[in-house]
Structure 1
Amino acid sequence: MTEEPNLSAQEMLKKLTPALSRRTRIRAVAALLAGLAGAVFVTVLWWSEPGELPGRTRLAFGVLTAFCLAWAGYGGWLLTCRVPLFATDRVVAAWLGLAASVTTTGLMAVVAVQRGTGLVLALAAGGVFVAAALVLAVRAHRRRAALLRRMRELTGEQ
C-alpha cells in the first residue's frame, strides 16, 4: 500500500475546483438553457400546428429541434468536463455552428427553388452565416493547435 503525499489545503482545493473558468461555465449554462428552451419552444410550436403539415415544414421543425438539442447537449457536456479542454469546446461549438448554418442555408435554398423566388437572396443570406461560422471554426482550430503546441513545449513532449 503506497501512501499519498501530504497535500496542503491550498493544493487540495486546486484539485477539487473545476478546470473550467467562470466564463466558460457561464457559456456552458447559456448553451444548455438556450438549447433546452429552443427545443421546447420549437417542439410546442410544431405540436400545436393544426392539421397535417407539409413534408418540408416537418423537416424544418425536426432539424431546428435537433440543433437546439445539440446545443443543449454541448452545454451539458461542457458543464460536466473537469479536465483542461485546450479549446476543444470552441472547436465543437464552431462545428455545431457551421453544421447549423450549412443545413439552414440548404433548407432555405430548397424552399426558394420550390417557390421559384429568391434563390440568390437565400444563398447570399445563408452564405454570410456559413462564412462567419467557417471563420470561427478556423480560429478555433488554430487556437487549439497553439495551446496543444504550447503544452508540448512546456512538458517537453514531441
Structure 2
Amino acid sequence: MTPEEVLARLDTPLSLRRRVFYLAVAFAGLTGSALIGLLWATEPGLPTRTGVAFGVLVAIGLGWAAFGGWAVTRRMPLFARDRVVAGWLGVAAWVAFSVGALVISLLRHDLELALLGVVLLLGAVAALNLRAARRARAVLVRRRNALAATETDE
C-alpha cells in the first residue's frame, strides 16, 4: 500500500458500522434520559436527594445523546477524537457519581466499603479507557503526519 492510499483511508469519515453504533449510543442516552425524566415528573413526593440523582442521570444521558449526535454528524476524519471525547464523558460521569455517592455517604455518616470499591473500580475503568483512547489518537495522528511528510518529500 502506498502512502497516498494509506492517507486516503485515514481521511475517510466514520464507517457505517461506527455510525450505527453512535446512533445507538445517542438513542440509548435519549431513551434513558426520557424514562428517568418521566419517572421524575410523575413522582412529586420524591426526596430531594432522589431528585438530584435523577437530574444527574438525565444530564449524563443527554450528554451521551449529544456525543452520539456529534460523532454521527462529523463529515471529516476524527482520528480517534470520538474515542477521546467518549473517554472524557465517561470520566465526567464517574466524577458526578463519585461526588454524589460521597455526599450521600457523608450525610448518612456511614461509608460503605462496597460502595468505595465500586467507585474506585469505575474510576479505574474510566481512567484506563481515557488513556487508551488518547494513546490510540496519538498513534493515528503521528502516522498521518509521518505519511503526509513522506508524501511531500516525493
How high is the TM-score relative to the length of structure 1? Answer: 0.82
Q: Where in structure 2 are there 5+ consecutive unaligned residues? A: 1-7
User: By how many angstroms is 1:30 displaced?
Assistant: 1.1
The Cα offsets for residues 96-151 of structure 1, whole Å up to 9 and x where unpaired, read as 11110121022112112212334332221111011001000000000001100000
CA distance in structure 2 between the aligned counterparts of 1:123 and 1:110, rounded to whole angstroms: 12
CA distance in structure 1 between the aligned counterparts of 2:69 and 2:30, rounded to whole angstroms: 10
Tell me which of 104, 112, 115 is aligned to 1:119: 112
Question: Which residue number in structure 2 is paired with residue 97 of structure 1?
Answer: 90
CA distance in structure 1 between the aligned counterparts of 2:120 and 2:33, rounded to whole angstroms: 25
CA distance in structure 1 between the aligned counterparts of 2:119 and 2:92, rounded to whole angstroms: 12
Asked whether 1:40 is paired with 2:34, we answer yes
The Cα offsets for residues 70-118 of structure 1, whole Å up to 9 and x where unpaired, read as 0000111111111100000000001111110121022112112212334
CA distance in structure 2 between the aligned counterparts of 1:94 and 1:80, rounded to whole angstroms: 19
CA distance in structure 2 between the aligned counterparts of 1:24 and 1:88, rounded to whole angstroms: 13
Greater relative contact order (Cα < 8 A, sep 6+): 2
| Letter of the 2:23 counterpart | V
User: By how many angstroms is 1:24 displaced?
Assistant: 1.2
The answer to whether the 8 A contact 1:105-1:122 is kept is no
Q: More helix per residue: 1 or 2?
A: 2
| Letter of the 1:141 counterpart | R
Q: Which has the larger radius of gyration?
A: 1
Note the aligned Cα RMSD (angstroms). 1.7
Q: Where in structure 1 are there 5+ consecutive unaligned residues? A: 1-13
Between stretches 37-46 and 114-123, larger displacement belongs to 114-123
Aligned residues: 140
